[in-house]
Structure 1
Amino acid sequence: MPPREAELAAFIDELPTGAAMGHKVIAAEHPRYGQQAVRTAMSRLTDAGHLRWVKEHLTVEDHTMRWVTRTYWSRLRRSEEWWAGFVQARHGRDVTYDHQPGLARADEPEPEAADAEPDPAEAPEEPEASEEPSAAHRTLAELRAADRRMALSEAECEALEPLAAEWLARGATPAELTHALTAGLPSPVTNPGGLARKRLESKMPPKPPAKTRPKARVTRAVFVCGLCEEPETAVPLINGLCAECRAECGLDEAGPPPGVVPPTFLPGLRPVEPPVDVEARADEARRGAGLAPRGRG
């Protein structure tokens, strides 16, 4: 595996289950590669059999239905036949406690609903992974509008986002969160980030009582292109990618096998051109322009 793809594979392998898998999101987190490099590397990992995008249709016991896109990662290279069997096995699966969008692992056994226990503090699930700032992040960023003394930097908003998200998961509204962070401020506020963290931790609302989740099952599962998310029912997919995206990333371009040096780059095999007589070329150009050739001195 080329170094860039190997590095990105190790990065994905360390991501937590449920992490957003868009190439823009990963590029924002990766310290070395930008969006185009990540997009190309992910396409090659998909073509090699490590990644697949699957859109799963869920039917819930409360008579609601939804589509969830999950990105399955495998440490081992898997064939098209293996992935086809994997997706076929998703049909009818009970995913009451395990159907969040984002990253999932095909190498690990998934827990059955009977063995799983609900987490009462778990945040409400979002229908799809989004690249937009979360409600918790927006609330923290908008503190400066509520009180200039609590203006937080981007780094502080990102660091405090998990605590703010826990507030919202426990039933607090953005307005209540803003009030808790801006009411009764000292003057001046010398460390707004530290003060916000102290208040978020010390004034955290209690956990809500446990709720029983309605059962959910996968009633349909289809592959989608790993880059444009077109379903296999709309376009043919080759190794998890549609033809247009494969062409865009240069996956089907003919070239020498890895490690093979083209003959023209080998010593002694390059085409050798005869030496050029510069003075003769100059005289020829002058005659063409109606001028006399320069004398030789």
Structure 2
Amino acid sequence: MAYQDPNAALPTPAHPMANPGYGKRSAPDQLPARAGTFGHLPAREAYVAGFLDRLPDGAAMDAKTLAKALPLYGQAAIRTALNNLSAAGHLRRVRRRAEDNDTGTRWVFHTYWSRTARDNEWWARLLDGDATGEVRSDAVQGVVPTEMTPTPEDAPDDVRPKAGPSPAYAVLARLGSTEPRLALSHADCVALETLATDWLARGADVSHLVRSLTTGLPEQVHSPRALAQRRLRDKMPPELPERPAPPARAPRTLMECTNCGAPGRPEALPGGLCRACRDADTGDSVAGGDVLAATAVRVRVAQLRTALREPCPT
């Protein structure tokens, strides 16, 4: 029998759509389709992947519906193929909280599909950016590589931004116009700038700072810098208490195990599968102790049956 290329353009049968807001959702930033896109996959997975890639967004992606559309394989084989496609980086199942004016908060379920295989970190970034439907990556955002971005130090002098005085320095420099007895030199402003900055950092506004420095001055001020320094230190406002951290919000989007649907964060579902389903695939879920216990039970039952067949001693 001639082998059919699973990536060949086949007529897509009428496929049922999922309920609005559910079903297939194409991942962003995919490479264009071409011959051999799924050539790295086994024949069954490549066949299923080629079909999924041609489905429109919103199409039903459950194993029962896919098995009806793909008569070569039953539901169990389709589930296994979906698990393998998930492990290969082509799909993830996601549940997302959505606000509904009629029913309040509800969950919608998507199966993200990417013909371009992605690693776990890429899928985690997609999950975090799901609210905007974008992937926060350099390729998508168009970020210029760091080595191509000129720094201010590298810019010519005529276009290099000029650093202005700090707000604290500006307040000190204008004191002389408000109160001539506190006219400060440039050196005085530089020496007192750190103290004035601490005032502003602790919530004091400019008017508060100026009043604290200029109110109740003696008739003659012999050293404006010394007097301002003394007042800045003695009248320093208290440090502002740290604001309590906002309560942690429930995640808006969760990934689901492709096999069993158990929800979790991406780091708990590498390859899109929970630990139990990964262990089941490798046979690790059957511990050696369980096998020994089952063997002991069978031996004991055989002994009891033999004893029941023997005649009772008189």
- Structure-2-length-normalised TM-score: 0.38
User: Which structure's residues are more often helix, by fraction?
Assistant: 2
- Structure-1-length-normalised TM-score: 0.40
Q: Whose RCO is larger (CA < 8 A, sep 6+)?
A: 1
